[in-house]
Amino acid sequence: RTVYVNGDYLPENEAKVSVFDRGFLFADGIYEVASVLGGKLIDYPAHMVRLHRSANELGMRFTVSDDELLAIHRELVSRNGLEEGAVYLQMTRGATDRDFTFDTEKLTPTLVLFTQARALIDSPVATRGMKVITIPDLRWGRCDIKTVQLLYPSLGKMEAKKQGADDAWMVRDGVVTEGTSNNAFIVTRDGAIVTRPLSNSILPGITRATLMAYSEKNGIRIEEREFTVEEAKQAAEAFITSATVFVGPVVAIDGVELSDGKPGPVALGLRQTYIEESLKRAI
């Protein structure tokens, strides 16, 4: 696999970053994941808008142009012959002797991109659905910034796996915030979709935003409000959204089955719509 590091395209075993990189020492870095279908990037412009926002919120310098970033994405997809999967991009504040304080202006951000081949359309998540557990949301107060500080979500997924589930939904102040790496939705008995409003407590998912726009166009009612785990367990359906899963039906929450333990029709319909519409707009 060819990866990109600070201006160079290298074989993955030759690609290196400094041990003093602040991304490595302080999780002082941000990332994006854009999926690839048929060799084309899905929802790409929105991912780059969010990357700029993350950099701004952390006062990180942005040293590549949007044109360059798109060119790098396309070059990696092409060099690696990627048909289906994702492009991962990570940008850190840069490398400097270890110190809690830093002078951003004197640092050169580290930029790394690589591809991951993966079946996204024919995924087991879509056919059998996902089981989720719930865990307390112990993350910091700026979950709206897409930082590489992913230890808690990583441990949450491991706990889910240990319990025979696929993922965890996090709960703060009695309501669901989001999944460890996705946004959480439920479907009410009268067919409306419910997801919590954006705030510092969740990541503004690109797939969430796109799906909500498609839903509105298709006349599906959206209720942007908080919901409890109890309400979710009694919902007609539940699902998650993320760049690499698209729409993932949830079939059980803490062992309580939803829609007879099978992916629900609303979630599957939205998944189909998302894939079809996004393919039309892929670049």
- For the bound state, the minimum distance from the C-beta of residue 18 to ligand PMP, rounded and expressed in Å, comes to 25
Q: Least CB distance from residue 2 to ligand PMP, whole Å?
A: 24
Q: Closer to ligand PMP by CB, 2 or 242: give it.
A: 242
Whole-number Å distance between alpha carbons of 88 and 150: 14
Measured CA to CA, the distance from residue 198 to residue 176 in angstroms comes to 13
**Chain residues 158-217 in contact with ligand PMP, contact rule CB under 6 A:** 178, 181-183, 203, 205-208
* Choice between 95 and 206, CB closer to ligand PMP: 206
Find the catalytic residue in 106, 146, 157, 217.
146
Stretch that binds ligand PMP, among 61-69, 75-83, 105-113, 236-244 (CB under 6 A): 236-244
* Closer of 243 and 251 to ligand PMP (Cβ): 243
The minimum distance between CB 202 and ligand PMP, in angstroms, equals 6
The reply to whether 262 belongs to the active site is no
Do strands 130-136 and 246-253 pair parallel, antiparallel, or not at all (unpaired)?
Answer: parallel
Closest approach of ligand PMP to the CB of residue 51, in Å? 11
Rounded (10°) angle between helices 44-58 and 206-217: 130
Would you say 206 or 267 has its CB closer to ligand PMP? 206
CB of 183 to ligand PMP, least distance (A): 5
For residues 244 and 275, what is the distance between their CA atoms, to the nearest angstrom?
Answer: 11
Q: What's the residue count for the chain?
A: 283
Indicate the residue among 94 and 205 with the shorter CB distance to ligand PMP: 205
List the x/- string, 30-59, binding to ligand PMP by CB under 6 A.
Answer: ---x--------------------------
Give contact residues for ligand PMP (rule: CB under 6 A).
33, 178, 181-183, 203, 205-208, 241-243
Residues designated as active site: 146
